Amino acid sequence: MPLLGAKNLPRVRCRGASCCAARGNPPRSEPAPTAAPMLAIVIGANHRRCRSLQITTPSGGSAQFTPLRARTRHAARDREPSTYTPRRWNTGRVREPTESERPSFTPSARISGDWSAHIATTLDRTADALAELVAEQWEAPSLCEGWRVRDVAGHLVWRLGEPIGGLMRSASRTMMTERVGFDAAIAELARREAEAPTDDLIAALRRIAETKVYRRGRTGIGELTEAVVHSIDIFEAIGVPLRLSPRSTSAVAVARLKTRLGPSARAARGRTLVSTDARWRIGSGEPIEGTAAQLVAALYGRIPLPS
């Protein structure tokens, strides 16, 4: 059907600001052809998301029209409120499984490589826990024989904060000046470092943790062992819980079993170490159950193996 002149065409206008205007476009008024197919094309092209259109004829009459696309899209919304339930996404956090619900895992036997993130996390959590201690707890004995909690914290600062050259020079100098062996020299250096105020020790541990994040200095399994074992020395002795990474505690346990040093490590051969809280299993044979801290402390000679 041929189109009429522009003055005689009916007008198509979007009704309501919730249609075109809601997308930043003003309600449009434009000529529409009289033919129904062409009217559908114009409406479908220019008013795809409009829900209600008003058609005005040159004679003054008007009619409301809803495009077919909009009819389909809004059909569910036009139902009765009692029967229509809007679609909602579950944006809440997933519930963390309890310790008993976590599956057990066997840690990797590969312990070489970079442990910077685990070292930093362990030191950061240790510093946070130390900040909560009172003066009497700082002076309490640790699992290291003859060492106070303060001494162990000082040893961590010295052992993980100094470069390898500084460690060797300070240890050698102390051995010569004090005329003592290596272990006694390490203990003397720990006591010297521990004379600093507790706030300074905590700040030093946090500073070391920050450097480990950027992989500065030594970040091997030896440094992770120092951080994990001495953190256990502190908090297992005073009965304060400390949350350590299962990957960190299992790697430290694997490292001790590989070296086969100490009577507890040798006694664990042919047995399965089962951590009841960290959910790792190491070895094969008769199980030995305990917390990760208890098993690590036993492997490093701090306490006997759990029966």
Q: Does residue 305 fall inside a structural domain? A: no
Least confident of 5-9, 185-189, 253-257: 5-9
Of residues 70 and 178, more confidently modeled: 178
pLDDT of amino acid 34: 46
Q: Does residue 24 fall inside a structural domain? A: yes
pLDDT of amino acid 215: 85
Least confident of 63-72, 100-109, 168-177, 223-232: 63-72
Residues 186 and 289 in one domain: yes
Last residue of a domain, one of 20, 54, 73: 73
Q: Does residue 304 fall inside a structural domain? A: no
Of residues 78 and 129, more confidently modeled: 129
Q: Does residue 125 fall inside a structural domain? A: yes
What pLDDT digit, counting tens, does each position of 56-71 carry?
655 666 666 555 554 4
205: domain range? 103-299
- Rounded to an integer, the average pLDDT of 31-52 is 48
Last residue of a domain, one of 31, 54, 73: 73
Residues 137 and 40 in one domain: no
pLDDT band at 106 (very low <50, low <70, confident <90, very high): confident
Q: What's the mean pLDDT when you consider all of the chain?
A: 78
pTM (predicted TM-score): 0.66
- Rounded to an integer, the average pLDDT of 22-45 is 47
Q: Give SS3 for 275.
A: strand
Last residue of a domain, one of 33, 58, 73: 73
Residues 112 and 67 in one domain: no
Amino acid at 289: E
Q: Does residue 109 fall inside a structural domain? A: yes
Of residues 63 and 89, more confidently modeled: 63
Q: Read off the CATH number of the domain in which 288 is found.
A: 1.20.120
Q: Does residue 81 fall inside a structural domain? A: no
- Rounded to an integer, the average pLDDT of 182-191 is 93
Q: Does residue 83 fall inside a structural domain? A: no
- Rounded to an integer, the average pLDDT of 128-140 is 96
pLDDT of amino acid 17: 44
pLDDT of amino acid 272: 92
pLDDT of amino acid 5: 45
Residues 184 and 231 in one domain: yes
Amino acid at 223: E
Residues 121 and 267 in one domain: yes
Starting from the edge strand earliest in sequence, which strands make up the sheet with 53-56, in order? 29-31, 11-14, 53-56, 62-65
pLDDT at residue 36 tops 50:
no
Number of domains in the chain: 2
- Rounded to an integer, the average pLDDT of 187-200 is 94
Residues 154 and 22 in one domain: no
Residues 207 and 63 in one domain: no
What is the length of the chain? 307
pLDDT of amino acid 217: 87
Residues 254 and 200 in one domain: yes
Question: In angstroms, rounded to a whole number, what is the distance separating the alpha carbons of residues 67 and 52?
Answer: 8
Q: Does residue 84 fall inside a structural domain? A: no
pLDDT band at 306 (very low <50, low <70, confident <90, very high): confident
The b-or-e profile of 24-40 (16+ CB within 10 A means b, else e) is eeebbeeebbeeeeebe
Residues 63 and 131 in one domain: no
Residues 158 and 270 in one domain: yes
Q: Is 23 exposed, middle or buried (0-12, 13-18, 19+ CB in 10 A)?
A: exposed
Residues 151 and 284 in one domain: yes
pLDDT of amino acid 260: 78
Residues 220 and 164 in one domain: yes
